[in-house]
Structure 1
Amino acid sequence: MGVITILSVATLAAKLAFSSPLETRHANCKAVSFKVSGSAYNRDFSQLSLADPTTIIEAGEADILPKILTNGTETIGGYYCEPTVKNANNGKLQVFVGSIGTTRDMWSGLGGTNLGVPAYQPEKYSWIDYANKQGYPTLATDLPGDGTSSRSEPILINQGPYTYDLIHDLAVQLRAGTTSQLPHPFTTLIFVGNSYGSVIGNNIAALYPSDFDAFVLTGFSKRIDLSLPGALLTAPVPGALFNPAKYATYDPAYVVTPIEATRTGSFFGAPDQVDFDPVMAKKWYTTQDVIALGQLFSIYVQGITAAPGYKGRVLVLTGEQDQIFCGFGNPALGVAACGSLLEETKELFPAAEYSYQSVPRSGHTLILHDSAQKTLDYAHRFLAGARFGVYGVDMVV
């Protein structure tokens, strides 16, 4: 009887470690945080302005901005989930890095990751749930400045290069098993990105080609410069002005996008071109988090790069009507179409096993569209060994 009692208590403790009173549906999950350090040369963005997008693009093309050595230690918040089945994928950790202006919630139906927001139709939109059912453990992260991650100075510090180094340190810890947060080391790491998260993945492949065994880059292509004017139709304003109750103490250079219609246009698209649930698009607007101006400038000034040293597997998985990476940033300025752009993106990964797949009638926040299950199927068949190379139409199975 005593032995049974001890085992029951141990089992209960293990379950409590992976649950929350607010979110019992994720009994296999827990909130986590990591201390990570980085050192990188950021750029001096202090003279750039959203009011003059031309100078932002020109600064990147001319490579004229002074470099600033940036060092520090940050907290990266996250949500770790164990797989719900036993199979050969159990040792392969999917690490999610998402779009600017959102949190780890984007990987679970915009909620349900211990941030106090319920998920919307997770059976359709949750990459976390889908992957766990395929046997993969998952780690959804908050970008610096968002969710439960630390919030550093938003123009000179919270930039791409510094973040690349922070995620590199996280990858090193995940492989070594020194995070103190996860149950064991992981010998296989899979990077899953969206938008800015995919730009981060692209740069990590270039700088640290041994960090990740595979990259799934959603909402991504080899060029982004044409989309800045349309993206700025979202009219960013300081978060403290938009939502004083939440962001009153934030630096004014942490901004949000206050116009629902243009935010929906840039991240989803026009309803006659893209299929999505307006309830999900509304939730994307109401649950947004802040964007550091340093992050935004990084994407357009120094974002996309070649990764000739990366020899692993890469899948670029993008909505055919992605306004940010295949269009003008907003449907008000024109129809987006990736066309051959995803095929041409192989130029960034010349030594990799490269695959690409366009998802028809889908926009930038790919996992939140009606095609979400199709996107998840493509991604996980790729991880199982399949190769893709189709744009504009459904892949022929």
Structure 2
Amino acid sequence: MINNIITTFAGLSAVAQAATAGHRAGPKCTDFLIPVHASSSKMVPAGNIPDGMAKPEVLVDYLLSQATSSLIAGPLGAIGSVEQSGDFEMSARYCEPAVHVASRAHTIQYLQHAITSGKDYWNGVTYPVGFAGDMYSYSKAASDNGYATIALDNLGSGNSSHPDPVAVVQMALQAQIAHEIITMLREGKVQGPVAGKTFNKVIYVGHSYGSIMGNAIAATFPDDVNAFVLTGYTGEFVAGAPPLLSGVAVPAALAMPKFADLPVGYLAQTYEPGRLYAFYTVDNVGGFDPAMPQYDFDNQGTVALGELATLFYGLTPAKEFTGSVFVVTGHQDAIVCNNLGGADCYKPANKLDAAKGFWPAAKDYSYIIPEKTGHAANLHYSSPESFKKVHAYLASQGL
């Protein structure tokens, strides 16, 4: 399998040069910072960051020890945790609706990316011009359907604040920050391009880690959001660790010059074939532009050790959430549909049916499983059709 992956990358440099040849038609977007004060419990790390973190085996041992502590502590428990609070600047991108739909004038889609990514994911990997123009831009699809969107860089990602990557950048705080911003949007307290605007309907759209964060928000703050759109999600992530680690994460400062100033607890991937294996379809299934994985790798973001160690905080039933849930997970998703026989969301049983158990009180739970699609659902040929189905679903829910 790995040999096939490596072969796939042969000659991609020349192809990638043409990746952004597409024309950007919109939407009109504005980047700005949102000051946020947030408090949450945090998991106390089991010791300091070990020496030799650049060695994969040292990194894996550390992550396993921290993840085990997270599971023992429980998603909302305080075992091995303390309270923390802080002031942070969160980088946001607000995109205006391209068409006016009266019923959506006070509706906003809140977009939250995955680890090793950033808010540019929602514009097609890069901004202002995405891969192949706007073909892979979820923000444009939403705008064309009359929705405003606001995409955030996670704490510790992109242009948001970069506090301690182990002790501070953890799932509970990420979810709390999202809660604070959503509350501000509802109350008209966000400044910049949305100053004075109130949004009485919020649709949370997450990918991978962002979907787990959405799960955490629904479990902890069930009234924050009217509907969740979760991509790269099934509620099963443990078996996805080997594909994720195949990208060989090392301290970001050692991986790429653009991350040179980040402390050792921020990681980036160094092995392009491993990222392909984790995020795209393999074994000649196809379904994506052959230049996309290299382009995605070259424009990757980082992940904080604390995010990985507290990943399971969000995987808990949202027992009091009564809104709508729509899941988009690729048939060949190697992260959330990983089996011993390969990536398949239908084997040994339909994993999207099983994920309904995380949403017992939802008024509606629906999903699609796009064919020839891996974990990075937005970056496959199937994405334009998936975008259409997402917005058809939202319309069916009165949103």
TM-score bucket of the superposed structures, by smaller chain:
0.7 to 0.9
Structure 1 partner of 2:34: 34
2:360 to 340, 346, 350: 350
2:268 aligns to what?
Answer: 256
Q: 1:58 Cα deviation (Å)? A: 3.8
CA shift at 1:138, angstroms? 0.9
Contact 1:274 1:363 in 2 (8 A): no
1:202 aligns with 2:215: yes
The structure-2 alpha-carbon separation of the partners of 1:373 and 1:338, relative to structure 1 and needing over 3 Å to count, comes to same
| Matched ranges for 1:17-28 at <5 A | 25-26=25-26, 28=28
Q: Secondary structure at the match of 2:30?
A: strand
Say which of 289, 292, 295 aligns to 2:307: 295
Q: Is the 8 A contact 1:46 1:155 kept in 2?
A: no
CA distance in 1, matches of 2:376, 2:254: 26
Aligned match of 1:96: 111
Is 1:50 matched up with 2:64? no
Q: What letter corresponds to residue 366 of structure 1 in structure 2? A: A
Q: Which amino acid aligns with 1:51?
A: V
Aligned to 1:75: 89
The aligned residue for residue 160 of structure 1 is: 171
SS at match of 1:270: coil
Residues 38, 163 of structure 1: 8 Å contact kept: no
Question: Cα distance, 1:269 vs. partner?
Answer: 2.8
The structural deviation recorded for 1:61 is 3.9
| Aligned pairs, number | 355
Q: Which runs of 5+ in 1 are unaligned?
A: 1-22, 388-397
Cα contact 1:217–1:315 (8 A) shared by 2: yes
Could you give the per-residue CA deviations for residues 172-198 of structure 1, whole angstroms, max 9, x where no partner exists?
A: 100001111214111111100000000
Please, which of 143, 148, 151 is the counterpart of residue 137 of structure 1? 148
Q: Distance in 2 between matches of 1:347 and 1:67?
A: 27
Residue equivalent to 1:335: 342
Q: Which amino acid aligns with 1:37?
A: H
Percent of paired sites with the same residue? 30
Question: In the superposition, relative to structure 1, how do residues 270 and 209 fare at CA in structure 2: closer, same or farther (>3 Å)?
Answer: same
Are 1:124 and 1:373, in contact at CA under 8 Å, matched by a contact in 2?
Answer: yes
| Match for residue 317 of structure 1 among 328, 333, 340 | 328
CA distance in 2 between partners of 1:27 and 1:344 (Å): 36
Q: Relative to 1, partners in 2 of residues 1:90 and 1:60: Cα closer, same or farther, differing over 3 Å?
A: same
CA contact (8 A) 1:37 1:165 kept: no
Residues in 1 aligned to 2:234 and 2:359: alpha-carbon distance in whole angstroms = 12
Deviation at 1:32, TM superposition (A): 1.7
The verdict on how the C-alpha distance between 1:370 and 1:145 changes in structure 2, with shifts beyond 3 A counting, is same
1:99-144 deviation digits (Å, cap 9, x = unpaired): 111111111111224xxxx311233211111111110011111111
Structure 1 ranges of 4+ moved more than 6 A: none
- Mapping 1:77-226, distance limit 5 Å: 77-87=91-101, 88-113=103-128, 118-181=129-192, 182-183=194-195, 184-226=197-239
TM-score (ref. length: structure 2): 0.84
RMSD value, Cα: 2.0
Q: Residue 53 of structure 2 aligns with which residue?
A: none
Relative to structure 1, the CA distance from residue 308 to residue 36 in structure 2 (aligned partners, 3 Å threshold; closer, same or farther) is same
Q: Distance in 1 between matches of 2:318 and 2:34?
A: 27
* Paired residues of 1:76 and 1:149 also in contact (CA < 8 A): yes
> Which secondary structure does the structure 2 equivalent of 1:375 belong to?
helix
For residues 329-388 of structure 1, give each alpha carbon's deviation from its aligned partner in whole angstroms, at most 9, with x where no partner exists: xxxx7411112111111111100021122111111110111101121012111101169x
1:25 deviates by 4.8
* SS of match in other structure, 1:148: coil
Q: What SS class does the counterpart of residue 178 from structure 1 fall into?
A: coil
1:46/1:156 contact within 8 Å kept:
no
**Residues 32 and 78 of structure 1 are in contact (CA less than 8 Å); yes or no, is this contact kept in structure 2?**
yes
Q: Is the 8 A contact 1:277 1:369 kept in 2?
A: yes
Aligned residue in 2 for 1:229: 242
Q: What does the per-residue CA deviation read over 1:24-44, in whole Å, with 9 as the maximum and x for residues that have no partner?
A: 854722112111121111112
- Residues 334 and 151 of structure 1, relative CA distance in 2, 3 Å threshold: farther
The 3-state SS of whatever aligns with 2:121 is helix
Taking the aligned partners of 1:386 and 1:369, their CA distance within structure 2 comes to 26
1:283 pairs, out of 295, 300, 315, with 295
CA contact (8 A) 1:89 1:134 kept: no
Q: Find the counterpart in structure 2 of residue 4 from structure 1.
A: none
TM-score with structure 1 setting the length: 0.85
Counterpart position of 1:391: none
Q: For the Cα contact (< 8 Å) 2:27–2:97, is it kept in 1?
A: no
Question: Which amino acid letter does the alignment assign opposite residue 69 of structure 2?
Answer: A
Alignment CA distance shift 1:249-1:211 (3 Å): same
